[in-house]
Structure 1
Amino acid sequence: MTIDRRQLLAGSALGAVVAALPAIAAPLPVPKPNLFVGTGGDGHTYPGATLPFGMVQLSPDTDIARWDTCSGYHHGDASIMGFSHTHLSGTGIGDMLDVLVVPTTGPVKLEPGPLDQPDAGYRQRYSDELAEPGYYRVRLESGVLAELTATERTGWHRYTFLKGAGHVLVDLAHMVLDKWDSGTLVEGASLAIDRDGTLTGSRTVNRWAKGRRIHFAMQLSRKPDRVTFYGDADAEQPAGTTEVAGKRLKVVLHYDRAGDAPLLVRCGISGVDVAGARANLAAEAKAWDFDGVRRRAARAWAASLGTIAVEGGTADQRTIMASALYHAQLAPTLFSDVDGRYAGMDGQVHRVPAGGAAYSTYSLWDTYRALHPLLTLVAPGRVKSLVDDIIRQTTQSPYGPLVWPLQAKETGTMIGWHGVSVLAEAQAKGIAADYAAAWPAIAKRSFDFSAPDKDNSLGRDLYDRMGYVPADKVFESVSRTQEYAYDDWASSHLARAAGKADDAARLLKRSGNWRNVIDASIGFARPRLADGSWWTPYDPIQLGHMPKPWWRDYTEANGWQATFLNQHDVYGLIAHMGGDQAFEARLDALFTAPSTLPKNAPPDIAGLVGQYAHGNEPDQHAPYLYAYVGAPWKTQAMVRRLCTEMYQNTPKGIIGNDDCGQMSAWFVLSALGFYPVDPVEAAYVLGSPLFERAVIQVGGGRSLTIEAPGNRADTPYVQSVTWNGRPWTKSWIAHAELAKGGTLRFAMGAEPNKAFGSDKADRPPSFGRAPA
């Protein structure tokens, strides 16, 4: 395979750090990630500089006006607009891109110009692009060599100009725009420069997270010769102006001898106020030491990436593994300042307890499935911090359990309120937290139908009263019914933890509502009307059946995919659909049906194998369901196929949106050899490990070793398993076992061992019980 220069990562800083780690942290070679994986196609990742779960994501922006660039960047775009300080990784909706910095030469241009006409604005063609964890470098056509690195709350730039004059533009109007947006979505903004040369600013943005506020404080290593402010309509302000307010603000810092020495820029951000941005900058930028910041960023990433080391597989697969582990540690993102203050979802400023942290960018409809379970293994300390934060924000949000919060605003994107899954999973896995504190807000979302709704929770009253959400009353009714049922399952655990036995029993019973949208007579998830009848005619390929303008019956899925949405009561689903044989046949049909979709299918439904869509989340657990009917060998074959076909060491290497690390986390867990079908069950279904050996640091100095000697591309089938040297006949293993550390050893082969995991006693638990 030919690898272009975008795929080659300079390993000097990261490699040196990894080499210096003690053997216990990296018992096997730790491969370098390719940060360009996912930046092409529909992966929607970005290649810039950040720290694990950092507040700042300093990265290049190539476009702001199309779905391809939800992250601000798309591999193959021919020009770069500049470098902004906040980015979303892998999302299907765009926002952020705060505080764009543009280093350039020549006449001042205040607009970027269109992508296909880079000479019309301040866009610049580029070359010699390089990315590694915590560092990014590119050469712009103006001759400027741009380098980026970051601390948790500050972005660092180093610009090396050619000899002569140059300038730096800071564009506070820069943001994501969609084709339906008109005018600016900035509600209000301000820019000011202090006597000491510190540039500060704020803006309120009504993009996706309506009304979110961002503040910054920026310093430059050399005093500019002139500073020019621009107000709305790019109106140049009089000479000597030191501040400006409006909606589309910009400032240009001019250097007559820009090429005399590298120019350093350091910028702190805050979601609270300018004072918070100043404090973050003062705390994390004590010296003009770009290379020192870069080295510390590399060390931070080496520690995070060193939690999993592998050998075996191909070189590309090892790089994919490292890249996936990298992308799985970009979000949630830090949102509290160095003094502990953060903007709450109640519109108030709060302060976390000493040692705590607040976070943003919880893509929970996606990440509850694999990302958060992965973190319970590789970053249990981080999970404790996240859980404490989710509890606090649940109590502060007017909507209760978290859905998709972004910078103190509940977007309510997708359906359900899956923050409860992350809490219930953590509680089941023994992570200590005050879960009872979240219960009143969870109870309100579950039982108080006068509580305010966003789109994610519409129809709760009908769901409670009728046992399902009627398709002629609320859009996406079939998926809502099933996902509300899963959240009831998770919430029932939290009710018990809070000592609310009656509420727990009510939720547990209601979690069986999924049955009411699975038509057992045809074996499919099906829209049901308020009078109790099923919608006819029915076609499982369709996303919606009602005449326009009615919206879909499923959430980013169709009838095929929604049929297997149930994660928590798999044996109930099997029985409802006619038993093991009927369920296995229907599951076979999912993977072998024609891969046709209706014209109105969203691009999220991607990566089709039959009607299974790996590029989106609703049925990503489906390959593992074979274990519940005693056919785990089919799981093994399909998981191996997905690991090798759906992930590549190229910019298009993620088959769908990475969704804040969910797609990547699926690969990490599946390549290790197991996956959490129901995270709240605190158990993992065994699959097909991709490597010959993997060592995972699971916290507390403990390590989990996974061995599959002689594992090759043509040996996807598990012949037998041992756990700490003892035979292991089950097709699953509990989190509590793996978290203690030990050795899980697979014997692999080219032909299936159909006896392994086939006995009912060896099948995974579901709904808190073994198969009947």
Structure 2
Amino acid sequence: MKKLVALLLTLGSLSAFAAQNDAVSHVSPLIGTHKSAIGYGGTMPFVTPPFGMTNWTPQTRQNKISIVSYNYDDPTISGFIGTHQPAIWMGDYGYVTVIPQVGALRTKPLDRRMAFSHSTETARPDYYGVTLDSGPGSNGQAGKIHAELTATERCSIFRFTFPKTGQARILIEASRPGIQGSASVNPATHEITGYNPHRMDAHLGPFALPNFKGYFVVQFQQASTAMQTYGLDDPKATTSRGAYAEFKPGQIILVRVGTSFLSIDQARENLRREIPAWNFDTVQQNLRSTWNQKLSRLQLSGASNADKSLLYTAIYHTLLYPRVFSEYGHYYSAFDDKIHAGSSYTAYSIWDTFRAENSMLTLLAPERVDGMITALLQNFKEGGWMPKWPNPSYTNIMIATHADSLVAEAIRKGFHGFDRNLAWQAVYKDAMTPPDGDTTRRWLDREEHTPYEARAGLTYYKQLGYIPTDKTDEAASSTLEDSYDDWCVAQIAKALGREQDYKFFLKRSLNDRNLFNPALGLMNGKTSDGKWAPIGGGRDDNNNRSASGWTEGDAWVYTWSPLHDQAGLLELMGGAEKYDAKLDQHFAGGHNVHNNEPSHHYGYLYDFGGEPWKTQAKVREIANKEYDATPGGLDGDDDCGQMSAWLLFTAMGFYPVNPASGDYMIGSPMLQHLALTLANGKTFRIEADNNSATNVYIQSATLNGKPLTIPVLTWEQIQSGGTLHFTMGPNPSKWASEYRPKLITTN
């Protein structure tokens, strides 16, 4: 009996341990898919491993730039798409769609829609399942298809359970009308193969890519009764747009899909490597295990189910991008339209993600950082520049060259697995070489068919110390962000022993100060004759952001944007008291728009002005207002992990205001106990005694038992492991109020 009791106790403990470590069960990929008072629904419930090359999601609408495949409000599903669309504002490329069907052949998206209910829907990182209503069957009864999918890095496997009556069919859409994709059938091998050359945002880049194709191989376990292509009935079509396989009713049909950007043969090879057997459950279990290994890096003690869902889903979102863009030793480059040996990544939304997402990856996925930097440097060799928003090639979306920040952060944090000399060449070119036609173009936002933009207006920046609003669009914002990138280039030069370059770029990094208008107490664009530009935001009659020079904001949004020079700004404003008072005006005036990245660090800025209690209250207020564990609970569209990275850092109690510095400003941890397992095997714990929704203020803090008297953590302190301990209370305290940032000097 004692042995039996001991065995039961052991099994119970193992069960509790397994439940605690099955973090996947708390992830809700539906968070961010619903339009709500918080956000507009721009994410998708992807089934994919971390950084997967191809993501799989149900398709409730035809995706394109500004429209994603899945929207929570939609009542129907028209298929399941293997997509590469990284964000709502970007387009897709090389996609393929799988559609189960009963009854008559329907190839058009509107005709093939099937009703579904969220009550039958299961969405996790490792699995998606739903019951689809395919309409009345031949006997007058509704035909229900149960669809399930799971995935690997480049492939997927579906399990479709068809009703007992009606013609069962699986349709493969290779491309859409007007796109010269292709599909072919091979009944002997139970395969449909093809490619899709569509790049939705091809009009944004500087050149065409005639060799670009998204290839696919679709394999069926069961023999079909018929296989056929479709789409050649269009008189303008020269290739089929898709194909289908038909099966006897009432079967469970397994479908494997391999994708590639190299060839059909490579798509087949990817399948052989990643899904060698017809075992749906094994693939799903492997994917679940992969996610659990990553998610369990953050341990939450005493957290509610809502908190667990919110934070583990945030980790899921941060680990989607940049996505893998290579296939077992080779990759297609969208920068020279050739195939190369090596590994690669794409989908860097760098203007968004350099702020916190990239910094989160150095904690959660440091094994990827060297490869991600190397990929940017390969892009530099193949296309002439590191990109700012590759999808998969240059798109010229957003401003500045914040790949400089990614390189600087990697060097600051001790990553050595990339060519540092090549990195210097890349960042030096960013900082010193104007783009083609720099003084003859305004560099409009998302201007079509332009050369690579790099640092638009750099010619003027070098001459005047700022970019004039009457010569270049978004000039004021670019001046401030270029100044930060100059600081990053300076840090890279210093690390590489290039002392003269360090001094040059450090001095130039203070160009942000040239735009401070003391009469306003705000940053202000300037015209080429040195006069102050109009202060407001918006566009002129030609849709240019020229009058005031701001990017997706105004003077309030951008005044504190020089991440490296808060000490200089504090001095320009007349001291800490006036700096904090101006921040008070910023928040009271409704200027802090959290769904856009320029505002993300603002809540933490009171740390610099000696009022850290305001930071503590403000960041908790923002987190409570802008996030919740519902489909509508994510502000904006996550911007490739940046929105979620902000939440994760804020939950832990610190944030990388200047990510390339290696410093983290302290806020107010959201839970009583968190533990971060580091790649070096150590654990960094955050404890917050008396923490609650009202006890948001830090009364005292220790790091490994020693008093912490400044609101700053360093990369080295985190990597050393240990315990950051806070005592919380309901009222502000003077903890860390004496801290002031160090002023940059160039002597």
- Match runs of 1:378-393 below 5 Å: 378-393=364-379
Matched, 1:707 2:687: yes
Secondary structure at 2:116's aligned position in 1?
A: strand
AA aligned to 1:559 is: A
Measured after TM superposition, the shift of residue 756 of structure 1 is 1.1
Q: Structure 1 pair 294/31, CA: closer, same or farther in 2 (3 Å)?
A: closer
Measured after TM superposition, the shift of residue 89 of structure 1 is 4.5
C-alpha contact 1:60 1:83 (8 A) present in aligned 2: yes
Matched, 1:406 2:385: no
RMSD over aligned Cα atoms: 2.5
Matched, 1:34 2:28: yes
Q: Structure 1 pair 455/444, CA: closer, same or farther in 2 (3 Å)?
A: closer
1:568 to 556, 564, 575: 564
Matches of 1:734 and 1:764, distance apart in 2? 14
- Match runs of 1:42-191 below 5 Å: 42-64=40-62, 69-70=67-68, 72-96=69-93, 98-113=95-110, 121-127=111-117, 128-142=120-134, 143-164=144-165, 165-174=167-176, 184=178, 186=179, 188-191=180-183
- Match runs of 1:205-354 below 5 Å: 205-209=198-202, 211=209, 212-232=212-232, 234=234, 245-246=238-239, 249-255=241-247, 257-259=248-250, 261-352=251-342
AA aligned to 2:376 is: I
Matched, 1:397 2:383: yes
AA aligned to 1:249 is: R
2:412 to 424, 428, 445: 428
Which residue pairs with 2:735 in the alignment?
756
Which residue pairs with 2:634 in the alignment?
654
Measured after TM superposition, the shift of residue 530 of structure 1 is 0.8
Measured after TM superposition, the shift of residue 700 of structure 1 is 1.8
Which residue pairs with 1:366 in the alignment?
352
Instruction: Name the stretch that deviates more: 190-199 or 45-54.
Output: 190-199
Measured after TM superposition, the shift of residue 547 of structure 1 is 4.2
Corresponding pairs, count: 696
Matched, 1:726 2:727: no
C-alpha contact 2:623 2:647 (8 A) present in aligned 1: yes
- Match runs of 1:539-578 below 5 Å: 539=536, 542-544=537-539, 546-551=540-545, 553-578=549-574
Secondary structure at 1:131's aligned position in 2?
A: strand
Matches of 2:88 and 2:583, distance apart in 1? 29
Secondary structure at 2:197's aligned position in 1?
A: strand
Which residue pairs with 2:533 in the alignment?
535
Matches of 1:52 and 1:316, distance apart in 2? 23
C-alpha contact 2:24 2:291 (8 A) present in aligned 1: no
Measured after TM superposition, the shift of residue 122 of structure 1 is 0.6
Question: What is the CA deviation profile of residues 397-440 of structure 1, one whole-angstrom value per residue up to 9, with x for unaligned ones?
Answer: 32x12301123x12121111111111110110111132222222
Unaligned runs of 5+ in 1: 1-15, 114-120, 175-182, 237-243, 594-609
Q: Structure 1 pair 709/388, CA: closer, same or farther in 2 (3 Å)?
A: same
AA aligned to 1:523 is: G
Question: What is the CA deviation profile of residues 162-213 of structure 1, one whole-angstrom value per residue up to 9, with x for unaligned ones?
Answer: 1132111111224xxxxxxxx73x3x32222344232221122231145453
AA aligned to 2:732 is: P
Matches of 2:147 and 2:686, distance apart in 1? 42
Matched, 1:469 2:455: no
Secondary structure at 2:147's aligned position in 1?
A: strand
C-alpha contact 1:379 1:698 (8 A) present in aligned 2: no
Secondary structure at 1:149's aligned position in 2?
A: strand
Instruction: Name the stretch that deviates more: 376-385 or 204-213.
Output: 204-213
AA aligned to 2:712 is: W
Measured after TM superposition, the shift of residue 499 of structure 1 is 4.1
Which residue pairs with 1:602 in the alignment?
none
1:460 to 458, 466, 471: 458
Measured after TM superposition, the shift of residue 21 of structure 1 is 10
Which residue pairs with 1:4 in the alignment?
none
Measured after TM superposition, the shift of residue 444 of structure 1 is 2.1
Measured after TM superposition, the shift of residue 365 of structure 1 is 0.7
Matched, 1:494 2:487: no
The two structures have a TM-score, normalised by structure 2, of 0.89
Q: Structure 1 pair 404/764, CA: closer, same or farther in 2 (3 Å)?
A: same
Matches of 1:202 and 1:419, distance apart in 2? 32
C-alpha contact 2:21 2:292 (8 A) present in aligned 1: no
Question: What is the CA deviation profile of residues 295-321 of structure 1, one whole-angstrom value per residue up to 9, with x for unaligned ones?
Answer: 000000111110101124543222211
Q: Structure 1 pair 677/200, CA: closer, same or farther in 2 (3 Å)?
A: same
Which residue pairs with 2:206 in the alignment?
none
Which residue pairs with 1:445 in the alignment?
430
Q: Structure 1 pair 311/570, CA: closer, same or farther in 2 (3 Å)?
A: same
Matches of 2:480 and 2:405, distance apart in 1? 14
AA aligned to 1:306 is: S
Matches of 1:710 and 1:94, distance apart in 2? 47
Secondary structure at 2:607's aligned position in 1?
A: helix
Matches of 1:360 and 1:19, distance apart in 2? 40
Q: Structure 1 pair 339/715, CA: closer, same or farther in 2 (3 Å)?
A: same
Measured after TM superposition, the shift of residue 48 of structure 1 is 3.1
Measured after TM superposition, the shift of residue 20 of structure 1 is 7.2
Instruction: Name the stretch that deviates more: 58-67 or 296-305.
Output: 58-67
1:630 to 583, 586, 610: 610
Q: Structure 1 pair 89/313, CA: closer, same or farther in 2 (3 Å)?
A: farther
Matches of 2:468 and 2:347, distance apart in 1? 31
Matches of 2:423 and 2:16, distance apart in 1? 40
Matches of 2:720 and 2:202, distance apart in 1? 40
Which residue pairs with 2:577 in the alignment?
581
Secondary structure at 1:331's aligned position in 2?
A: coil
Instruction: Name the stretch that deviates more: 44-53 or 511-520.
Output: 511-520
AA aligned to 1:162 is: P
Identity of aligned residues (%): 34
Matches of 2:483 and 2:27, distance apart in 1? 38
Secondary structure at 1:110's aligned position in 2?
A: coil
Matches of 1:455 and 1:43, distance apart in 2? 30
2:196 to 180, 203, 208: 203
Which residue pairs with 1:598 in the alignment?
none
C-alpha contact 2:691 2:728 (8 A) present in aligned 1: yes
C-alpha contact 2:23 2:312 (8 A) present in aligned 1: no
AA aligned to 1:529 is: T
Matches of 1:495 and 1:279, distance apart in 2? 43
Matches of 1:522 and 1:333, distance apart in 2? 43
Unaligned runs of 5+ in 2: 1-10, 135-143, 204-208, 438-450
AA aligned to 1:167 is: R
C-alpha contact 1:376 1:383 (8 A) present in aligned 2: yes
Question: What is the CA deviation profile of residues 518-560 of structure 1, one whole-angstrom value per residue up to 9, with x for unaligned ones?
Answer: 2122112222111110124x34xx334x444433521111221
Measured after TM superposition, the shift of residue 656 of structure 1 is 1.1
